[in-house]
Amino acid sequence: MIYASGKHSLYDPVCAYQATTFVRLSLINQLKKYSMAFTLPQLPYAPEALEPHIDAQTMQIHHGKHHQAYVDNLNKAIAGTEHENKTLEELVKQAGSISPAVRNNGGGHWNHSFFWEILGPAGKSQPSGALADAINSTFGSLDGLKEKMNAAGVGRFGSGWAWLIKKDGKLEITSTPNQDNPLMEIAEVKGTPILGIDVWEHAYYLNYQNRRPEYLTNIWNVINWNKVAEHFSK
Ligand code: MN
């Protein structure tokens, strides 16, 4: 209601309704923005669960600081762009043609989310069934797989990842630089990751310093083979 003086009544029901609607719409927009942003997944076990092979402090910093930074920087890189409604998988696949920030941080977010899941407390699982058969027929034995995978990890100069992938129904080992992965269209060797090992120094330096081969030898103690089998069966 507008009075002759031109002032709005504070109690005008129309104004009150408009104000409420405005507040509601702002809230909806904020919630929408919030729900579309990527968030850091929780570790599926306690940070100390992988000791002594991977120490708790490394896990806390790796997950809480490094992975969090990839999530935050990915959100910043896509906010307000045509890419902000894409899934992580879409972003990662197209990363090479979007931007270096999406490639590094989208890859970083995908790779680490995947990595936490394929690790777990020591001695809980072994490859079995179809996965064990595929490992034996491709690499001769589980040791054969470990040897080739470790060679890929040691041979990756600087920072990157060693991968066991499924390609045309078969197992294959590859490695990628930085936060690239085999899902990216720009990857040299493309395929579906079954298992991935982070060989960035931040993944092992506190405990192993420069001894990447020792980290790679020990990480096999904390592989969650049930998760690897789940990826293989897809
Ligand atoms: Mn990492």
Domain boundaries, the chain: 1-34, 57-234
Ion ligand 1 residues within 5 Å by Cβ: 198, 200, 203
Average the pLDDT over each of 21-25, 78-82, 192-196, 214-218 and give the range with the smallest value. Answer: 21-25
Measure the CA–CA gap between 129 and 106, rounded to whole angstroms: 33
Residue 50 in this model has a pLDDT that exceeds 60: yes
Question: 199 C-alpha to center of ligand 1: Å?
Answer: 7
Question: 228 C-alpha to center of ligand 1: Å?
Answer: 19
> How do residues 87-119 score in pLDDT, each as one tens digit?
999 999 999 999 999 999 999 999 999 999 999
Question: 229 C-alpha to center of ligand 1: Å?
Answer: 22
> How do residues 154-201 score in pLDDT, each as one tens digit?
999 999 999 999 999 999 999 999 999 999 999 999 999 999 999 999
> For residue 199, what are the CA distances in angstroms to 28, 50, 66, 134, 143?
42, 17, 14, 25, 19
Residue 18 in this model has a pLDDT that exceeds 90: no
Question: 101 C-alpha to center of ligand 1: Å?
Answer: 16
Question: 80 C-alpha to center of ligand 1: Å?
Answer: 27
pLDDT at 154: 97
| Between 120 and 9, residue with greater pLDDT | 120
Question: 32 C-alpha to center of ligand 1: Å?
Answer: 29
Average pLDDT score over residue span 37-58: 98
For residue 17, what pLDDT band results from cuts at 50, 70 and 90?
Answer: low
Mapped onto helix, strand or coil, the DSSP state of residue 212 is helix
Question: 203 C-alpha to center of ligand 1: Å?
Answer: 5
For residue 132, what pLDDT band results from cuts at 50, 70 and 90?
Answer: very high
- Which ranges constitute the DSSP H helices of 38-141? 56-61, 68-78, 88-98, 100-117, 129-139
Question: 136 C-alpha to center of ligand 1: Å?
Answer: 29
Question: 13 C-alpha to center of ligand 1: Å?
Answer: 56
For residue 10, what pLDDT band results from cuts at 50, 70 and 90?
Answer: low
The pLDDT mean for the chain works out to 90
What class has domain 57-234?
alpha beta
174 touches 153 (CB < 8 A): no
Average pLDDT score over residue span 140-152: 98
